[in-house]
Each structure stands twice: as C-alpha cells, then as structure tokens.
Structure 1
Amino acid sequence: MQTSTHPTETLQTPRAAGMAGVVFALLLAAAMVLIRLAVPQGADAVTVQQPDPGRREAVRTALLLVPFAGIFFLWFVGAVRSHVGDAEDRFIATVFLGSGLVFTAMIFAAAAVASAVLDTAHPAGTSPSRPTWDFGQHLAYTLMTGYAMRMAAVFTCSASVIGHRLRILPRWLTLVGFLTTVVLLFVSSAVPWAELVFPAWSLLLSVYIVVAGFRRSAAAPAV
C-alpha cells in the first residue's frame, strides 16, 4: 500500500488586508465629521431644533458609510492579529478581539438608531417630532461616545500592550496608543470631536503595518 502525502498549505494574509485599516479610519472619520456637523451636541444643539433637509442628507450619507467602516474594521482586526503572529498572549488577544467585536456592534447600533429616527413615520415634508428627535439624538450619541468609544479604548489599549510586550510596535506608537486610550476613556464623552483620535490612531497603526509588511517582503530571501 502506498500512502500519498500532500503538503499542508496555509492561507496567507493578503497584502491588501493592511490597507483595510486605512480605509476604515477614513470612513469612520468621515462619518463622525458629517454627523457632528449635521447634528451638533451640547450648547450648539440648542440652536438646531430639528434638522433641515440638507442636514438630514448629511446624516444619511454618514449612516451609509458606517456599515462599510465596520466591515473594513473587521479586516483591520485580522491584519493586526496577522502582524502579531503566533506569539500573542491568549488573555490579551481575547480582550483585543472581544472589544473589537463589541465596538463594531455599538457603532452599528448607533447608526441603526439614527436611521430609525430619520425614517420615523411622519407627514411628508416635515421633520420628526421633537421628542422623537431628542430621544434618538441622545441615544445615538450615548451609544457612540459612551459605549463604542469605551470599547475602542479597550481595543487600543490591548493592541498597544501586545505591541509593547512583543516589541513588534515602535515605542512612539505604543505611547500614542496609551494616550489615545486615556482620551477615549475619560474625554470623548465630554469633549466634542475627541472621538476622532481613534480613527487617527487606527490610521497610524495601519500605515505602520503596511510599511512593515513591505519591508519583510523585501528582506525575505528569494526562493
């Protein structure tokens, strides 16, 4: 009897996966900016009783970007884990993956709430009722700035801890990650626009992963 052995093939992470973080950062930042400009929060919101048609279209555009941002974020999570490799700690890796999944769920929930408010049944050509609009606005902002950003802080912190312990990230990038964690935990819910530090950090990390991947490819011996 002859037994035929087949070489074990492993799936390789595509190089384009590293760019997913860049796309995610740009989409999430664009959605946040559009929502902030169209639906102010705090003192500015007093002057905006209900959104005019132009503001509603800006919010709808932002909401259309959120699902794609979530999809690219999952690819970004995979690219980070691929960059870490098999040396990742199970505990930190579980926190990292879990916080990323919960963050995705939170931004989807916030987008769904905002979309539901805009699509609430009301006479054609008029805005949603004031109680409906206030409830939807506060709930969406609470989900985004109160919960999603906290999960983003855990995600950023765990990624920075992994990068620091395994020394796969430069010191300056881990310091930026820890600073981003503090801002997301204690500042983002009180200071408008503070949540933009998360897509900014994601952009920096994605660019570093892409550059590091090209460097490894260039340094690898030709087979």
Structure 2
Amino acid sequence: MPEALLDPSRRRPTAPHIFAGRIVGLLEAQVGCRATGLWQAIPNGDTMTSDESQIRAFLERRTAAQRSKDIDLLMSFYSPDISYYDAVAPLRFTRAAEVRRNFLRWFDGYVGPIGLETHDLTIVTTEDAAFANMLHLDSGKRRGGIELPIWVRETVCLRRLAGAWAITHEHISIPINPANFQIWFASEKDAPARGGGRSIFGLVASSLRTRLGLRRGAVEKLA
C-alpha cells in the first residue's frame, strides 16, 4: 500500500477538503469578530438590511402616533432616559416625563390631526445602535385657524434594549438667518439659502393670503 495512504500528513488535499477548510476558516473569522466587537467590519447585507427595515418601520409607526396625537403610543418609542433637543426652549428636555409634556404642548398647538411627512430618510445601523436623519414637513390647522407648513430637520439616535429598538436621543432644528437672527423657514425641501426662505412674517402673510384670498399687496399691508 502506498505510504501516502498510510501517513495522513503526506496526502494531497482534494477540492472538497480545500472548500471545507475555507468555510471553516470564514466561520472562525466571523465568530472571532463577534467576540471582539468587530463584526460590523465584515459586510453582512442580510443583517444590516433587516435592522434598517426594522428601524424604518419603527419610525413610520412613530410618525403615525405623532399624526394622531396618541401620546401613550408615541412615548413607547422612547427610552425612559431620553435626551431631547427641540427647536423650542429650553436647551434640552431630559427623561420621559419632560419629553411627554413637550409633546403635549406640540399637540395642543393644532386643531385636529398633525400633517407630518418624512423626506430623505437616511439610516445607519450597527449591531445594537443606530442613527437616522431626515426632513419633516410639519403642517395642519393651528390654533387661530392659521395653517403654516414648516420644514424641520431631525436626527434620532437609537439603541437596541432588551431586543427592541428605542430612541435615546432626538434633535429637532430649524435654520436661522445669521444676518438678523430670525428663523429661516424653507419654502421647499431643497430651497437655496438666498431667496429660498421666508421669515415668520412672510410665512404668516402667505397663509393669510391663501386663507382669505387676498392679493399679495393687501396682505403685506396687513403684515
């Protein structure tokens, strides 16, 4: 009998052996990366797509709760120790109770449901953390009968807690005009800085013109 058959160390590896060895090597590498926290460095389209889809659906459900002013449902999307930066004073709202009161203040400014559209949503995920940024068109009939559609910017940070995603930080902002420190309201999503925005007076005038059917000059005199 040939010596190569008697001594395993002298056998030449066959194609199935080589393939099996490569699979084992990949599995060992992936297990090692999970253990050292470097798993994100290995592309894994299925996992990342699944997480992104979960967060996209999560944010859609949150927006539905905002539109319907369902405060209990809305707060279920936030961590108890949420840190919230809004476009209104103070600088920040901390923990769920303060954030809840701020949402109720926002709800109270509208008569009926809130029109809220999400645009240009971008989501980045890791194993147990994620962040997303987007633009919102906030609209609806406000107290006093005025309708003022407003574009706002939003960034949210999320963590997977006990197997479920929760928002741990949220930041809402509106640009200002540095020349006069007045709020700059974008006329549309991709409006340029020069000529693409309005002050609060221009925004109210536009709303009144639409509501009352007045000509531009008449409304400007009222403003």
Q: State the TM-score, normalizing by the size of structure 2.
A: 0.24
Q: Which has the higher strand share?
A: 2
Q: Identify the structure with bigger relative contact order (alpha carbons < 8 Å, sequence gap 6+).
A: 1
